């Protein structure tokens, strides 16, 4: 671009955007072309905003990294999102949970959690009627910094979440302890029926008085703070053995097929997510693992949930509905 007077090369738009404006020219523009100035500024702001919101987000269900997820795309807006993802160099999208009570107008730009999992598209099976069966794999977690709507589906600017080292996780424990379910929140943890894919536990109906007695007798997290990562994983393995003994072998096989094989013990980060997904508890409780950046702290949360399950008569008696 050249100057209309001296024909010298002019710098790009970014230079003028950050450069102080000329007060005389600005006053003339605001008086002579006030509407055009406002509309042009709004168009530039929207263009910059959409350029930042470069991650498509699927409001569907809970997922964790390192696990397979089979998804069914049938809504036109998400079929459009899938087509655009497949046209990108790295076909992927983010997925978050919907809110507990969905708004009447559908999932808007403010619906869903702030934390989710990025999914890589592994394979797509197109059906004759336009629907698609998509096999994905969770690759990493993210936090939504900014969100908006594009052609009916959510897009956002996200920040990747990675784990601390276990040594760093010790000093960060107090900072991120808020997601740990405390005894005061136990009644809400039990009152809502869980929604796992394969196992549905029978939840007892509790009165407020009985719920209070149960919350007082529930195990605390103080005993878990002194446990090592290996001890926490041993407690998880004991629960898995208890779960396998109380169910049919084909149920365990379907668990492995649905959530993938059990991660090795030398990968406590992946194991904590896999173990959290297997637990027969409320999905919104499981979602509290997403923002936690310490594998040991996630294992502490999982062991706390296991202790709460073992303290219930319906679980210890093997009451299972398949």
pLDDT at 12: 75
Enter the DSSP assignment of 52. H
pLDDT at residue 280, as a whole number: 84
The full set of domain ranges for the chain reads 13-45, 55-161, 166-321
Alpha-carbon dihedral sign for residues 48, 54, 59, 65: negative
Series of mean pLDDT values for 10-residue runs along the chain (322 residues): 84 72 87 88 74 88 93 94 93 92 52 88 94 95 92 93 71 45 40 37 38 41 68 89 73 74 90 91 92 93 90 60 44
Give residue 296's pLDDT: 92
180 φ/ψ sector (left φ>0, alpha ψ -120 to 50, else beta): beta
The answer to whether the CB of 303 falls within 8 A of the CB of 235 is yes
Contact 94, 60 (CB under 8 A): no
> Would the pTM count as exceeding 0.75?
no
Class of domain 55-161: mainly beta
**Residue 132 to residues 94, 233, 268: CA-CA distances in angstroms?**
17, 38, 34
The CA R_g of the chain, rounded to the nearest whole Å, is 25
For residue 159, what pLDDT is reported? 94
pLDDT at 84: 94
């Amino acid at each position: 671009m050249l100057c209309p007077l001296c024909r010298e090369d002019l710098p790009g738009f970014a230079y003028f955007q950050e450069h102080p404006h000329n007060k005389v020219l600005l006053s003339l523009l605001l008086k002579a072309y006030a509407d055009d100035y406002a509309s042009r500024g709004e168009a530039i702001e929207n263009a910059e905003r959409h350029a930042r919101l470069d991650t498509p987000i699927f409001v569907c269900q809970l997922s964790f990294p390192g696990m397979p997820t089979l998804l069914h795309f049938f809504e036109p807006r998400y079929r459009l999102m899938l087509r655009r993802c497949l046209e990108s160099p790295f076909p992927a999208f983010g997925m978050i949970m919907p809110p507990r009570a969905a708004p009447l107008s559908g999932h808007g730009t403010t619906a869903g959690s702030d934390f989710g999992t990025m999914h890589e598209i592994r394979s797509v099976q197109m059906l004759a009627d336009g629907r698609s069966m998509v096999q994905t794999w969770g690759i990493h977690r993210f936090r939504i910094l900014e969100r908006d709507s594009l052609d009916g589906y959510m897009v956002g600017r996200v920040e990747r979440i990675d784990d601390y080292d276990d040594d760093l996780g010790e000093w960060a424990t107090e900072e991120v302890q808020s997601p740990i379910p405390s005894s005061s929140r136990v009644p809400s943890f039990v009152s809502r029926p869980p929604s796992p894919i394969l196992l549905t536990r029978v939840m007892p109906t509790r009165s407020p008085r009985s719920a209070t007695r149960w919350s007082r007798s529930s195990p605390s997290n103080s005993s878990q703070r002194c446990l090592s990562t290996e001890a926490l994983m041993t407690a998880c393995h004991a629960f898995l053995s208890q779960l396998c003994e109380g169910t049919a072998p084909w149920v365990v096989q379907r668990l492995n097929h649905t959530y993938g094989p059990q991660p090795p013990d030398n990968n406590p980060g992946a194991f904590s997510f896999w173990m959290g997904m297997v637990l027969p508890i409320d999905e919104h409780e499981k979602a509290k693992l997403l923002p936690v950046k310490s594998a040991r702290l996630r294992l502490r949360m999982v062991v706390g949930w296991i202790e709460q399950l073992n303290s219930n008569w319906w679980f210890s008696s093997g009451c299972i509905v398949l």
